[in-house]
Structure formats: structure tokens, C-alpha cells
């Protein structure tokens, strides 16, 4: 499934299950032309972590089929 900028709101909603986040984050990465990941922090005592994703979404070509009629 393609990820677009409207989908960002859905992954920020709480609570999200880990499987839902995995699916949507995978869609985001696969729909990107550029993607990087940085581990911002990790606490081995609590298991808490912070990951930063940075990338550029692939822009789909606009539908111009109506122009070729």
C-alpha cells in the first residue's frame, strides 16, 4: 500500500499496536525515494528507545489521462 502525506496523522494516534506501526512504517519506507534512520537514544535498563526516520516520499505522477482524450 502506498503511503502519502495524509497517512502521517494515522501513525501518531495513540494507542497503535506494534503490528500496525510496523505495517505503516514499512509502507512509508517503501514509498520513499530516500530514507535514513538514526537511533536517537536507547535506555538498556528500561528498554525505552527513540528512533528518527528521515526521508523523501516518492511523488506519484498526477493523473493526466483526461488530457489525452
With pLDDT > 90 as the criterion, what percentage of the chain qualifies? 48
Per-residue burial over 29-56, b if 16 or more Cβ lie within 10 Å, else e, is eebbeeeeeeeeeeeeeeeeeeeeeeee
pLDDT at position 60 = 67
Q: Are 35 and 51 in contact (CB under 8 A)?
A: no
Tell me the pTM: 0.72
pLDDT in tens, 35-66: 999 999 999 999 999 999 999 998 765 443 43
13 vs 21, higher pLDDT:
21
Question: Given the C-alpha cell 505522477, which residue does it identify?
Answer: 61
Count of all residues that appear for the chain in the document: 69
Amino acid at each position: 500500500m502506498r503511503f502519502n502525506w495524509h497517512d502521517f496523522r494515522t501513525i501518531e494516534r495513540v494507542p497503535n499496536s506494534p503490528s500496525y506501526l510496523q505495517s505503516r512504517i514499512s509502507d512509508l519506507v517503501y514509498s520513499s525515494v530516500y530514507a535514513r534512520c538514526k537511533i536517537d537514544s536507547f535506555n538498556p535498563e528500561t528498554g525505552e528507545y527513540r528512533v528518527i526516520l528521515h526521508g523523501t516520499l516518492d511523488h506519484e505522477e498526477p493523473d493526466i489521462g483526461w488530457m489525452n482524450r
